[in-house]
Structure 1
Amino acid sequence: MRILTLSVLAVATLAAAPSFAQDSNGGNTYVTLGYSQFQFARNAAAGTPEVELGTITGRIGYQFNPNFAIEGEGGFGVNDDKVLGVTVKGRGTLGAYVVGIVPVGEKFSLLGRAGYQQAWVEAKLGSIKVKDDDGSFAIGVGAQYMFDDANGVRADYTRYTENDGTDGFAISYVRKF
């Protein structure tokens, strides 16, 4: 519960980040908007097949220096899956991360991130509906290419440690302020 509270506080702090955008260096605050695909691990021993869900994902972050940022992330489900007659829906996600950045060139950077994410999922079979929410530590890698000083694209892979591991793949538009 304490980790969830800290995550919510981190996201709330990030909501105030636009006020930092007037920094003399400029470009410290950023937002992303994109699509994330989550693959929940197949449990062969239990006979459970893999489930894939998609979300529209947004992030808001603040880059303190060329190598370090923090970001909050939220998403809502847009792509459901049907497994063994059960419809599985991703309702939403909310997370907070620290991000390490390694500039490789003027426009290209490699990213590493670690944090905590909460996810809300619903499963429905006929009139029976089960809702679940689960939190997980997460670690990921990615790359970002900036077309100019303000616009770019970012691709990420994130591994969520709970529930035998879930993989997340994301592609996003990046806007720096």
Structure 2
Amino acid sequence: MKKTLFASLAAVAAFSFVGAAHAQGAEAPLYFELGYSKLSVKGGVPGLSLKASPGAITGIAGYQVNENLSLEGLLAFGVGGSEAKINGAASGVDIKVGTGVGFFARASANVTDDLQLFGRLGWQHSSLKLSGQGGSVSDSGSDLAYGFGANYNLSKTSYLQASWMSYYNKNSTKISGFGLSYGIRF
């Protein structure tokens, strides 16, 4: 409850800051990114490890507050499942990523006119579904999320992006992955 309240207060504060910056005449560009992430899901208990590699479609809407800071919202949907390997062996259990929602602050720096490096830090709510012959089980949770990446400008309004993100790392469960995205500024 406290974590949900804190996340809600942080989101309200962030969007209030965006509104204040806009009201002062700081015209910050909006952008949208659509991509695919190949995820790594790892978990386990002593003596038993589980690994899978499901995929997700990600969408990020962002507002560039200034040259080096942006605020972002993320929405992700799992696509396709992956058979879990338990201690390296096939298990017959399929793992799928459900819907993910996140809020991030993104710091960036231009290396050249066409290349930008960035880091993201924020909060992510993620869900997983495991299914096999014995039925299925779903679970979800929220955690600190972070990552880094690079944008390469194709034009003044579009770019390609490569990134790595850690979406969840709690209770012996880790969700992370590499993603490729196409972005557009407007």
- TM-score, length basis structure 2: 0.80
Q: Which of the numbers 111, 118, 128 marks the counterpart of 2:118?
A: 111
Distance 1:73-1:33 versus aligned 2 partners, 3 A rule: same
Deviates more, 1:163-172 or 1:111-120: 163-172
Contact 1:27 1:176 in 2 (8 A): no
State the alpha-carbon separation in 2 of the partners of residues 92 and 165 from structure 1.
Answer: 16
Partner of residue 93, structure 1: 100
Distance 1:73-1:5 versus aligned 2 partners, 3 A rule: farther
Deviates more, 1:87-96 or 1:40-49: 40-49
* Cα drift, residue 66 of structure 1: 1.0
- Which has the higher Rg, Structure 1 or Structure 2? 2
Give the number of equivalent residue pairs: 173
Greater strand content: 2
Partner of residue 125, structure 1: 132
Contact 1:27 1:150 in 2 (8 A): no
Q: Kindly, what percent of the aligned residue pairs are identical?
A: 27
Unaligned runs of 5+ in 2: 85-90
Deviates more, 1:87-96 or 1:43-52: 43-52
State the alpha-carbon separation in 2 of the partners of residues 129 and 136 from structure 1.
Answer: 23
Partner of residue 109, structure 2: 102
Deviates more, 1:41-50 or 1:104-113: 41-50
Partner of residue 147, structure 1: 154
Partner of residue 161, structure 1: 169
* Cα drift, residue 146 of structure 1: 1.1
Contact 2:115 2:150 in 1 (8 A): yes
Q: Aligned partner of 2:50: which letter?
A: P
Q: CA RMSD in A?
A: 2.7
State the alpha-carbon separation in 2 of the partners of residues 176 and 102 from structure 1.
Answer: 17
How big is each residue's C-alpha offset from its partner over 1:126-167, in whole Å with a ceiling of 9 and x where there is no partner?
A: 251111001121121100011111111111111243245332
Partner of residue 87, structure 2: none
* Cα drift, residue 174 of structure 1: 0.3
Q: Aligned partner of 2:71: which letter?
A: I
Distance 1:92-1:128 versus aligned 2 partners, 3 A rule: same
Contact 2:28 2:66 in 1 (8 A): no
SS in 1 for 2:137: strand
* Cα drift, residue 172 of structure 1: 0.4
Partner of residue 69, structure 1: 70
Q: Aligned partner of 1:116: which letter?
A: W
* Cα drift, residue 91 of structure 1: 1.4
State the alpha-carbon separation in 2 of the partners of residues 97 and 45 from structure 1.
Answer: 33
SS in 1 for 2:47: coil
- TM-score, length basis structure 1: 0.84
Partner of residue 47, structure 2: 46
